[in-house]
């Protein structure tokens, strides 16, 4: 198969085939008649595998390591489970951080509705950002009265 043919068979674009070839995950031969790269069914299998692994969040070095273990006739499954378990924990942490960011963004947007636009005056750059988390005006008044 030529680049375009293997790309179509795997459901990727030709640049993806070229990328994995440069990264040596695919090992095409050269057609002696025209010097075109020729891919076989093993390359197609590896390309499909790499695409699925990327969809699950595996990095290129991890995919290479999985393929290397398989090429050496060792089961990569224990490593895959371990990597995936750690990756899932990272994703869950990132989701928590994004949820916290969303709360801050929502609070800032709500606070900004009542804040006037300001012109930089040498003391402030953008008061929306600098003061979004100040206590509400009702609370500031109470704090000043208590002080």
**Band of pLDDT at residue 13, cut at 50, 70 and 90:** very high
Give the separation between CA 127 and CA 27, rounded to whole angstroms: 58
- Lookup: tokens for 16: 């993806």
- Would you state the torsion angle of the CA atoms of residues 109, 110, 113, 115, taken in this order, to the nearest 10 degrees? -90
For the entire predicted model, the pTM comes to: 0.70
Q: Determine the Cα–Cα distance for residues 147 and 143; give it in Å rounded to an integer.
A: 6
Point out which residues pair with 29 in neighbouring strands.
38
pLDDT tens by residue, 36-90: 999 999 999 999 999 999 999 999 999 999 999 999 999 999 999 999 999 999 9
Mean pLDDT, rounded, for 101-115 = 90
Mean pLDDT over 126-146 rounds to 64
Q: CB–CB of 20/31 below 8 Å?
A: no
Can you give the pLDDT at residue 144? Answer: 46
Of the candidates 143, 147, 114, the residue with the CA atom closest to the CA atom of residue 128:
114
Are 3 and 18 in contact by the 8 Å Cβ rule? The answer is yes
pLDDT attached to residue 138 = 47
Q: Please give the domain boundaries of the chain with CATH numbers for all domains.
A: 1-74 (1.10.1660.10), 75-115+124-130 (no CATH)
Enter the tokens of residue 107: 């609070």
Tell me 38's DSSP state: E
């Amino acid at each position: 198969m030529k680049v375009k043919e293997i790309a179509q068979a795997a459901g990727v674009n030709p640049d993806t085939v070229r990328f994995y070839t440069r990264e040596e995950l695919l090992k095409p031969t050269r057609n002696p008649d025209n010097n075109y790269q020729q891919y076989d069914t093993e390359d197609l299998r590896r390309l499909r595998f790499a695409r699925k692994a990327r969809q699950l969040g595996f990095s290129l070095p991890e995919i290479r390591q999985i393929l290397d273990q398989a090429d050496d006739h060792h089961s990569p499954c224990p490593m895959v489970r371990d990597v995936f378990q750690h990756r899932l924990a990272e994703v869950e942490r990132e989701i928590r951080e994004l949820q916290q960011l969303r709360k801050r963004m929502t609070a800032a947007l709500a606070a900004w509705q009542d804040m006037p636009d300001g012109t930089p005056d040498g003391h402030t750059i953008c008061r929306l950002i600098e003061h979004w988390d100040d206590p509400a005006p009702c609370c500031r008044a109470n704090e000043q009265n208590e002080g």
